[in-house]
Each structure stands twice: as C-alpha cells, then as structure tokens.
Chains A and B, each alone.
Chain A
Amino acid sequence: MPTDEERRQIEEELKKAAFKQGACVDALKIVQRHRGWVSDEIRGVAGMLDMTPDELDGVATFYSLIFRRPVGKHVILVCDSISCWIMGYETVREQLKRRLGIGPGETTTDGQFTVLPISCLGACDHAPAMMVDDELYLDLTGERIDEILEKYR
C-alpha cells in the first residue's frame, strides 16, 4: 500500500490531470523516489488512478527508468549511444568495472551503486557522458570517473 506521504503527493499530481490515468507515470515516480524502486505494492496505487493493477504494471514495465527491481543507492546511467561510443564509452564502462567490480545491469554487493546503460543523453558534443542519480557528467575520462565516484561514497 502507498504510505500517507506518497498518497498525498499522488493526490497533488491528480489535481493537474485531466484524467486520473494521465498521472500514472508521475505516481510511479513518486513511489520510486520514496523507495528507490517500485515494488509489487504499486498494485495498491492503481485504484487511485482508475486503473487495474495489471494496467499500471504494464506501464511501469514499459519504461526503462521505472525500476521494478531493487537498485543501488546511486544509479549510474552510462550513455552507450553512437557519439559516446565513438568518443570512448568503453573506457567509461571499463573504469566503472575496475572501480566497482560491476558491469551494466549489475549492483554492487554493498548496495551502493547500480550501473545501467542508457540511450543518448543529449550531450553528444561532450561525449562520453553519464548521469549519476540526477546529475549529468560530461567529457569523461578514467580520472574523472574516479573523482566522481569519490563524491558518492
């Protein structure tokens, strides 16, 4: 079931929506912001949105940035699209692997980091690029990545 706070925030979003279902991505994001991921408890949110639990799950599983499985405390999204690939995506992936011991799709055993691939971040003139949580990092090199990881430890 959603917590009172989640419920309050979802109701806030519903005020802006022409139809309740239109707020479902916002509702999923609210749950994810509170819990880090969207557990099976989304089924309890569906009613607020005039949706069946399966309809809501169908939307949740459609999006790459709604997590239906637990992720680490920090999510590292590494752009693997063409400009970043040309400019050194593999260096980024390898450096993360060396420092964290994980590749794309994996979470560190201490639950601190999850690394995920993401499509073009719209920062191709500063490739290679990645995001950590909501923060965008550009012109990545091995050393830059070490510095960035330090900030999150």
Chain B
Amino acid sequence: MAERPLTKDLRPDRVPLSLKEYEAAGGYQGLRKALKEMSPKDVQKVVTDSNLRGRGGAGFPTGQKWSFVPMGEDAPRPKYLICNADEMEPGTFKDRLLMEGNPHQLLEGMIISAYAIQADVSYIFLRWAYKLAAAILERAIAEAYENNYLGKNIIGSGYSLEMYIHTSAGRYICGEETALLNALEGKRATPRAKPPFPQVCGLWGKPTIVNNVETLSNISHIVTNGPHWFNGLSPSADTGTKIYGVSGKVKRPGLWELPMGVTIRELLEEHAGGMRDGFRFRSVIPGGASTEFLAEEHLDVKMDYGSVQKAGSRLGTGTMIVIDDKTCPIGAMHNLEVFFARESCGWCTPCREGLRWIEQILRAIENGEGEPEDIEVLEEQCRRLGPGNTFCALAPGAVEPLQSGLKIFREDLERHIREKKCPWK
C-alpha cells in the first residue's frame, strides 16, 4: 500500500488529534530535528531538493519561493509566514480535512517553515465558513504555546514565533496572496501590483511567505524523512502525494491521499466508485472551478502538474468536479461564470465588466435566447480576460472553463441557440 503521510494519522471518526496523540504518532520530531540539527538554510535546501510544489493551485516550487526571502542580520523585520486557508475555489474541500483532522501537522509545518525563513510572526488566514476548523486550530495553537512549540525560545532553541488566526468575512479574492495581505492589513482586499513580490515586500511592507495548508502540512514529513523519500512517494515527475477530491454524480464523492500522478480514470472508477446508476460521464473539471474542462478522451491523463497541462488544463487544487450526461453543460458553464462575476473584486475593468457580460450571454443562451454571434463575443472575451490583462489571476482563471467549454460543448451551445431552448429542460 502506498504511503499516505498527510492522512495516515487521521482518525476514522475525524476527531482531531490532540497534541499528545500527535506526539505519540511521531509528531513534532521534524520540528525538533530542524531546530536542533539544521540551519534555516539547511531546511530550505531540504524542501528545495524535495521538489515540493505549492498545493494552492499555481504549483510554484516551495523551496524556490522561500529562497527569495532576505536572510541574515540586515534582513527587514519582522518577517511573516502566512498559511492560506481561505479555500473558496468551488469544488475544493481538501484543506478543511487537513485542518479539522490533524491541526498539529499544519502547525508543525508552519513553525518549521517560519524557522526556515526566520519569520517572527505567523498567521492562519481562515475563511469565515470554516467554524469547526477555527475552533480546532484555536485549541491546537493554545496547546502548542503551552508546550513551548510556539512563543519565546521554542524548546530551548533560541528561535521565537508568534501565531495568530485571522478569520475572514467572505470573498474568494481574499485567497489571492496579495489581496490576502491587504485583507490582513484591514484594507479592501484588492490584489496588489507585482513586483514587488511578497517574499521581499509583503505584509506591512515586510518579507512574507504565503503558502497553502496542504503545502505546509507536508513540511514536517519532508524534514523528518528527507527529500529522497519525498521524491520516491510518486512515480510521476511531480513529487509527493496529493489530496485528490471528486464531487458530482459519482457513487462515492470524497477525498483520497494518493501518490501524485494517478489517472483521472483511477480516481473516478476505483476511488469514487464510478458514476451513479443512470448517469454517464460527460466531462470533468480537474482542479477546481478555474481549470479547463476535460472530456472522455482525457480519462487516462495523469493528475500531476505537467500531464494535466499537456492535456490542456491545470491540476489546480486537484479536486475534480464531474459533469454527467443529465447535467446541461451550458448551465454548468453559466454557473461557474456567475461565481466569477460575483467574486470579481472590481479593481480592473476587463474583469469587472467582462465577467458580467459573459455571465449574461451564457444565461441568455441557457434560456434559449442566444444568438449565433454570441459565441464569437464569448471567444473575444476569453482573449480580453486572458493572462497579462488584469491585476490578478482571477480573470484568466475564470475564462479557463469558458474557453474549453466553447470547444468541447460547441455542439450543445449551437443546439441551444438553434432550438431556442435548453434540451435538458
């Protein structure tokens, strides 16, 4: 059986591990090793050599991101480490599991990561809706302080770190890392122009690292077992395991930790139990709402960064949404664009105006009021909202399901327009 470092200690009843239980399972050994035997640069090197890539959606190499943080005596202070636990991408529910099931695994990963960049303060930026996770993390942080894994002079190492939870108040854009910084500073959470990048000039103008919950939950295991072990967990070019998820009309929707690079087919058929009786597979959005639709011919694509990209989509958050044959694909595209239009922060015009327009055109087509020219307008909008035209990746992400939908659901679009009604209704 393949190793499952992130989830092996989760209890079947999902009651979170207390600090004592976590320690009994080997917890906080990675932190001891890092603080007692390794320099911050050593920790950075181990993470770089592990080839861990960020699990928040963009897949940026974690060690490389950390390497941009100014180190040494002259580095600006305080430095910050932030855990991005905003998880609002539709179809994504993996970070919740890690926070609710094993909060100390995340905390240990955060403390080691903070040590690696010599951060003074750390935050967990948590979405409003995760009430249970908030209570569990509060308790875990208090336990960590009581046992001197947080606070001054952590377990006698000379290193000190404070940790706080910030619970947000809605809005998907808060998960974008520079919008998140503005949110923490108490401003309207619009993204910032980059450069400067947060690693150099982030929270209150100081060096800041933002990493995803799943990314950070891997760190203690990498430090304890070494980069070679992490590389060996996966048979694919991308290393480690991944928390994959499936939702939609499958027999067993859920989450599974598997070696990076399992195929879509294996996930759907072996883990999610295949389609529910009476439903056929039509399409899949592989990694959350802002990734391209894939079709039946892509079922054997491996779920790693490179392979999904080659197939014309993105691994994203690795949590897939299945579209069945009884669900109108135009309705699905419309639903996705309603989300993006609503969550646009309004900072740049192509996104603020374009998404509203896209949403209204799709609504019209879905209701049988579309015109043949509409498809061209949608294609035009895909170009206008593409990479490089907006402050942040929300707009390019929003047109990923649109441009792929325009291709693979072309027939369906044309049929809605021609028959002046939704064939599914």
Contacts and interface: CB of A to CB of B under 8 A. Distances in A.
- Say whether A and B bind each other: yes
Interface of A: 16, 18-25, 28-29, 49, 51, 58-59, 62-66, 77, 80-83, 85-87, 118-127, 131, 134, 136
Contact of B90 (A16, A49, A82, A136): A82
A120 B89 contact: yes
B186 A127 contact: no
B90 A120 contact: yes
A81 B169 contact: no
Contact of A87 (B132, B248, B285): B248
Interface in B76-122: 87-93, 95-96, 121
A81 B170 contact: no
Given A19-B185, A124-B321, A126-B253, A81 B87 contact: no
Contact of B88 (A22, A77, A120): A120
A120 B91 contact: yes
B185 A63 contact: no
Nearest to A61: B188
Given A24-B186, A119-B343, A83 B248 contact: yes
Contacts of A59: 186-188
A139 to B, nearest CB: 10
Instruction: List 7 tightest A-B contacts by C-beta distance, closest first.
Output: A64-B170, A21-B186, A81-B90, A63-B169, A124-B247, A125-B253, A65-B170
Most chain B beta carbons < 10 A, residue from A51, A62, A122, A134: A122
B285 A82 contact: yes
A122 B188 contact: no
Chain B interface main SS type: mixed
Interface in B154-208: 164, 166-172, 183-189, 204
Interface in B49-99: 87-93, 95-96
A123 B183 CA distance: 24
17 contacts: A25-B169, A62-B189, A63-B168, A63-B169, A64-B169, A65-B128, A65-B170, A66-B169, A80-B335, A81-B339, A83-B91, A86-B322, A119-B343, A120-B289, A122-B92, A123-B93, A126-B253
Most chain B beta carbons < 10 A, residue from A22, A49, A65, A125: A125
Contacts of A83: 90-91, 247-248, 321
Most chain B beta carbons < 10 A, residue from A18, A87, A126, A131: A18
Contacts, number: 135
A65 B332 CA distance: 25
A18 B184 CA distance: 10
A24 B188 CA distance: 11
Given A86-B322, A119-B342, A122-B93, 5 more contacts: A19-B186, A81-B289, A122-B92, A123-B96, A124-B245
A18 B183 CA distance: 14
Given A119-B172, A124-B90, A125-B245, A86 B186 contact: no
Nearest to B322: A86
A125 B254 contact: yes
A87 B249 contact: yes
Nearest to B272: A125
Nearest to A58: B188
B131 interface: yes
B129 A131 contact: yes
A122 B130 CA distance: 8
Contacts of B183: 25
A82 B185 contact: no
Contacts of B91: 81-83, 120, 124
Contacts of B93: 120, 122-125
Most chain B beta carbons < 10 A, residue from A49, A82, A119: A82
A78 B289 CA distance: 18
Interface in B226-270: 245-249, 253-255
Most chain B beta carbons < 10 A, residue from A87, A124, A126: A124
